[in-house]
DNA sequence: AACTTATCGTGATAGTTATCACAATACCCA
DNA sequence: TGGGTATTGTGATAACTATCACGATAAGTT
């Protein structure tokens, strides 16, 4: 038996999430066992990459056979921490916030939206989802800490992103997912992830502007 | 004079997009000149990283002084291909689609939404933005090719993501930004980017599940 | 039980990306 | 005009990540 402290690439974690997605689809199609080749085909990742990713966490397959679809799905969920429920709050119920609240996927995959907040008085009280009424920002700290929210989703405009993040930290959330186009600052003990939709589009524009993507002429004096 | 064919890291492109964002904010604050240190402070990237990123494309700064805020912004826009207008169409006007259509940022930064489509007959004709009426999916190929759409944004459910992508390809778009939780397949000459909101959340869950993020115990037989 | 086949798990290797340290140089001021 | 200061641009290096190639091994077959 060997035990080693090793580093897990962030890219690996991202892929694990997509593996779950593909595995569930394959399971729906009736595949009880998948090879790394089939799974790779399905989610457009090389078979070796999949095996490597999984090997960081243990041995989940059977040589000569493959992986049991259902149990591998469960194993990956455990790895990602999706075997428990993460109480989550969302701040800023604009279109994007609404989209996330209605995203049934969350409910089925380890997250539970326990509260939603907005600064627009006209929205307060609106039921955005079964049993979930929009609350004023002023209630954020009180409600989120009472509900023991662990994750806060920020879908407010850039101008109020930082103050929103501050409130979430005060309310005791451990992680923040920020969709506002502003890099907020949080204490070291808070985990932060920024999602920049604009960057994704800009990346596309860059690739389209260059015939040979990822290559370019470098000019120096 | 030296000229070399070198590879640009994808991460560099992503950062360039955020540099624009930070530079515009600094410019609003009255900073006419920024050092890599100040810019780095503002967008949470190391100064050396910023200089390296820029050095792939040329020399934009003045030693001992820094970078002219406005002109650096323009230079980066040129690098990313944002100095021209990208005609863009969006398919699937749910909450997320709506959010993107109303995102004024796009209009101001190189993209123009030329059409929006949805399969729900009840939505057809609705004006989602000044002068932009939702059209039926059946009109996609005709309208998008007439408008010479270069980019297609997919915000439909996973089940119709592939067929939507196929239509966009048929309409002649060169790039697709896919928000559906399904990895669509496109011909080699089409540039594709997948945005997985669920993966971002899952990543957060993983980090929260592990005290020391990015490190873990490895167990082997 | 030996042989064959399929497919995993992983050490070694190649490739990519970030960091570092410092030479280069523009501006300021005496 | 020369010396000091600030800050860039970049080669070298370190760190990280993906790919490859193959040994290990489970199941089926004769």
Looking only at Cα atoms, what is the longest distance across chain B?
A: 64
A214 pLDDT exceeds 50?
A: no
Q: Evaluate whether B110 touches B85 at the Cβ level (below 8 Å).
A: yes
Kindly identify which residue of chain B lies nearest to residue A106, measuring between CA atoms.
B198
Largest CA distance in chain A: 65
A40 touches strand C (CB under 7 A): no
Domains, chain B, in order of start with CATH, read: 10-79 (1.10.10.10), 86-200 (3.40.50.720)
pLDDT tens across B74-99, in order? 999 999 999 999 999 999 999 999 99
Question: Nearest nt to A2, CA vs C1'?
Answer: C10
Determine the 3-state secondary structure of B110 from DSSP: coil
Question: How many Cα atoms sit within 13 Å of B149 on the Cβ side?
Answer: 28
pLDDT in tens, A159-191: 999 999 999 999 999 999 999 999 999 999 999
Helical axes A69-80 vs B197-209, angle rounded to 10° = 60
Residues contacting residue B91 through CB under 8 Å, at least 6 positions apart:
B97, B116, B117, B118, B137, B140, B152, B153, B154, B155, B156, B164, B167, B168
**Predicted confidence (pLDDT) at residue B214 exceeds the cutoff of 50:** no
Contact B204 A16 (CB under 8 A): no
Q: What is the pLDDT of residues A26-60, one digit of tens each?
A: 999 999 999 999 999 999 999 999 999 999 999 99
Token pair, residue A102, equals 């209605």
The pairing of beta strand B33-34 with beta strand B127-129: unpaired
- pLDDT-derived band at B3 (thresholds 50, 70, 90) equals very low
> Nearest nt to A63, CA vs C1'?
C8
Contact B3 A219 (CB under 8 A): yes
* Three-state secondary-structure class, residue B122: helix
Identify the pLDDT of residue A199. Answer: 94
From A39, A37, A47, select the one nearest A18 (Cα to Cα): A39
Task: With a cut of 80, say whether residue A63 has pLDDT above it.
Answer: yes
Asked if B92 contacts B154 with a C-beta cutoff of 8 angstroms, the reply is: yes
Residue B46, nucleotide of least CA–C1' distance: C19
State yes or no: pLDDT of A68 exceeds 80.
yes
Cβ of residue A63 lies below 7 Å from strand C = yes
Backbone dihedral angles phi then psi of residue A97, each to the nearest 5 degrees: -60, -45
What confidence tier does A211 reach under pLDDT thresholds 50, 70, 90?
low
Residues of A whose CB is below 8 A from B16:
202, 206
Determine the distance between B71 (CA) and C22 (C1') in angstroms. 27
Q: Is the pLDDT of residue B213 over 70?
A: no
Q: CA at A33, C1' at C1: how many angstroms apart? A: 29
Please, what is the average pLDDT of chain B? 91
**Is A202's CB within 8 Å of B80's CB?**
yes
3-state secondary structure of B129: strand
Q: Do B81 and A206 touch (CB under 8 A)?
A: yes
- Give which of B151, B188, B205, B211 to mutate to test A binding, by max A Cβ within 10 Å: B205
**pLDDT reading at B163 higher than 70:** yes
Are the CB atoms for A177 and A195 separated by under 8 Å? Answer: yes
The residue-averaged pLDDT of A106-112 equals 83
CB B155 within 8 A of CB B178: no
Distance B216 CA to D14 C1' (A): 22
pLDDT 10s digits, B172-198: 999 999 999 999 999 999 999 999 999
pLDDT of A219 above 70: no
Q: Which of A99, A182, A215 sits opposite B95 (nearest CB)?
A: A99
- Residues of B in Cβ contact (< 8 Å) with A7: 214-215
3-state DSSP call for residue A174? coil
Tokens 């996330």: give the residue: A100
Map residue B3 onto helix, strand or coil.
strand
Comparing every residue's Cα with the C1' atom of nucleotide C16, the nearest one is B9
Backbone angles phi, psi at B80, to 5 degrees: -80, -5
């Amino acid at each position: 038996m060997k035990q080693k402290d090793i580093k897990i690439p962030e890219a690996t974690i991202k892929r694990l999430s997509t593996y779950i997605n593909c595995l569930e689809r394959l399971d729906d199609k009736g595949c009880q066992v998948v090879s790394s080749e089939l799974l790779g085909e399905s989610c457009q990742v090389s078979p070796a990459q999949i095996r490597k990713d999984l090997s960081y966490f243990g041995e989940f397959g059977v040589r000569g056979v493959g992986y049991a679809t259902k149990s591998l799905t469960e194993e990956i969920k455990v790895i990602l921490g999706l075997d428990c429920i993460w109480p989550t709050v969302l701040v800023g119920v604009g279109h994007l916030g609404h989209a996330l609240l209605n995203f049934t996927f969350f409910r089925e995959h380890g997250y539970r939206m326990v509260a939603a907040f907005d600064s627009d008085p006209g929205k307060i009280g609106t039921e955005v989802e079964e049993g979930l009424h929009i609350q004023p920002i002023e209630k954020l700290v009180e409600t989120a800490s009472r509900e023991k929210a662990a994750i806060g989703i920020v879908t407010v405009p850039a101008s109020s992103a930082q103050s929103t993040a501050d409130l979430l930290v005060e309310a005791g959330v451990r992680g923040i997912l920020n969709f506002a186009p502003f890099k907020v600052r949080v204490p070291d003990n808070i985990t932060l992830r920024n999602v920049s939709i604009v960057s994704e589009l800009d990346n596309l524009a860059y690739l389209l502007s260059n015939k040979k993507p990822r290559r370019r002429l470098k000019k120096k004096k």
